[in-house]
Structure 1
Amino acid sequence: MIYVVGDLHGDLSKIKKLHEDKKLSKSDTVILLGDTGLSSTYEMFATSLKKQLAAIPTNFLCVRGEFDALNYTTYTESERWHLNITEGKIHDNSYKQKIWNCGKGDYQEAYPNILYANDGEIFVIEDKAILTIGGACMQNKQWRSDIFGIEFIPDKPQKVVKDKAKFNLEQYGWKVDYVVTHTCPYEYRPTDRYIPDLNTAKCFKRHYDNEKFLSKIRNKLVYEMWLCGHFHLDRTVGNVRFLYDDIYEIK
């Protein structure tokens, strides 16, 4: 079975409850919609989370959230140039890349059942074609960068990601079964969930790059259901489903 779970932010209670209820096995896949906590700047905390997930005998496929940039490290020299990644900060040689169920992702040998999906990849799991695209606007990005001295992957989707997503979709005739993303297409933004502070207002007024790119994809794509997280709510609008407390089961 395939289970899709919203933002965790380091809280694995939903995963543990899912494992308790469903008795997860190696034949199952749990898709995490970003902001997992697995790339926390607190290394001991992140390592603890990874060890707990590695102890569960199932496959975890992680979509990139805006707080997950540190995990997405295996880029070609060309991709690093496009993403403006500084060697030694985001790049981490402990991550390797592999193809799993037709899609590419990054993993660490110590935690082989945790795969971080590369943006724009299509995975075929249990005969379901699943498009994965991460990223979202990060609140207080500059403040976090200044305080923690960390360079984050840019908020807006880069040309290398757009081109790869379009190329992969062309191979599938612009038809997949599911789309899993961190944020949502532009026209589905739940504006009632916006936090009314200055930084958030600036973020959402100025940076719709991810959402607009996803809208362009959606307008051309044939799909059954679009699953996303980021906004910390459970809501269904047409065939777009926001997940936070709920867990979606792909059958």
Structure 2
Amino acid sequence: MIYITGDTHGQFGRIETFCERFGTSREDVLIILGDAGINFSGWNRDCVKKRFLESLPITFFCIHGNHEQRPQTIDSYREKQWHGGTVYYEEEYPDLLFAKDGEVFDLDGKQTIVMGGAYSIDKMVRLIYGYGWWPDEQPSDEIKRHVESQLDKLGWKVDVVLNHTTPLKYEPVEVFLPGVDQSKVDKTTEEWLDGIEDKLEYQKWYCGHYHTEKKIDKLEIMFENFDVFCGAKN
């Protein structure tokens, strides 16, 4: 079975409870829609979190968020093929997988493209206090070209999109923090996704990032809720 949930930010109690409740196994997969929180806190603390996740009876498939380092910039990560697409993994934690942006995966027979990353509205606070922040948090021009090239090959038709943020038109403005000046928020990723969404034929679009739970047409924003991927029954 393939399951899906939103941002975890290094807090995995609900995932442990979920695995216990549903009796999951290593053959089951849990998609985390970005900001998993396991390439964020520094090597020692990250290792503690990774060891805990590796002990759980499930395989993790993580999308790149904005509150974590890209695994391809970390020396311990390797690449491999998984369900038809490229993922990053560490030999010590083989069941913690990170999707490469722009890759297309076969998940339960669904062609699924991954497009991660977003802008951190708390960037300045994190820089001032020395918290983790990385300048490549948003998709680069190279990543965007790769995504568009992949979609060209597919005739701009996929079954599922896995995102961290949303296309601009679907931003849940009702949960925006009142103290944040939205005119100063870099929304180039959301604007790019808007153009993708306008052109793309798809069945379902999942995203996280906004710490809310909301469905808009075929798009679903997830946070602490869990679901079966695409509602599959198997």
TM normalised by structure 1 equals 0.85
Indicate the residue corresponding to 1:48 in structure 2: 48
1:221 and 1:100 map into 2 onto residues whose CA distance is 24
Asked if structure 2 preserves the Cα contact closer than 8 Å seen for 1:156 and 1:207, the reply is: no
Rounded to whole Å, the distance in 2 between the matches of 1:247 and 1:180 is 15
TM-superposed CA distance for 1:206, in Å, is 3.8
2:226 is the alignment partner of 1:244: no
CA distance in 2, matches of 1:201, 1:105: 36
Report the residue type matching 2:214 in the other structure. Answer: R
Q: Tell me whether 1:201 sits opposite 2:174 in the alignment.
A: no
Distance (Å, rounded) in 2 between the aligned partners of 1:107 and 1:153: 22
Select 1:142's aligned residue among 117, 121, 124: 124
Counterpart of 1:219 in 2: which secondary structure?
A: helix
Take 2:52 and 2:60, find their aligned partners in 1: how far apart are those partners?
A: 12
Question: For each residue in 1:124-148, what CA deviation from the matched residue of structure 2 results, as whole angstroms up to 9, or x when unmatched?
Answer: 1221111111111102313423432
Q: Corresponding residue for 2:196?
A: 217
What does 1:1-251 correspond to in 2, within 5 Å?
A: 1-68=1-68, 70=69, 72-74=70-72, 91-148=73-130, 152-197=134-179, 200-202=180-182, 205-250=184-229, 251=232
Deviations 1:131-190 (A, max 9, x none): 111111102313423432866033442111111111112222222221111111100001
Q: Note the alpha carbon deviations across 1:82-134, whole angstroms, 9 max, x for none.
A: xxxxxxxxx32111111211111211110001111111111112211111111
Contact residue 3 and residue 247 of structure 1 kept, 8 A: yes
Query: 1:210: how far off?
Result: 1.1
- Greater displacement, 39-48 / 112-121: 39-48
**Cα distance in structure 1, aligned partners of 2:71 and 2:44:** 19
Contiguous gaps of at least 5 residues in structure 1:
75-90
Aligned equivalents of 1:228 and 1:241: distance in 2? 6
Q: Which amino acid aligns with 1:37?
A: G
**Offset at residue 56 of structure 1 (A):** 2.0
Q: Is the 8 A contact 2:31 2:60 kept in 1?
A: yes
CA contact (8 A) 1:66 1:137 kept: yes
Native 8 Å contact 1:30 1:59 kept in 2? yes
CA contact (8 A) 2:65 2:137 kept: no
Tell me if the contact between 2:166 and 2:193 (Cα under 8 Å) persists in the aligned partners. Answer: yes
Q: Per-residue deviation at 1:60?
A: 0.9
Distance, in Å, in 1 between the alignment partners of 2:49 and 2:108 is 27
**1:246/1:150 Cα in 2 relative to 1: closer, same or farther (>3 Å)?**
closer
* Contact 1:3 1:248 (8 Å CA) reproduced: yes
Q: Which has the larger displacement, 142-151 or 214-223? A: 142-151
Contact 1:33 1:65 in 2 (8 A): yes
Q: How many residues align?
A: 230
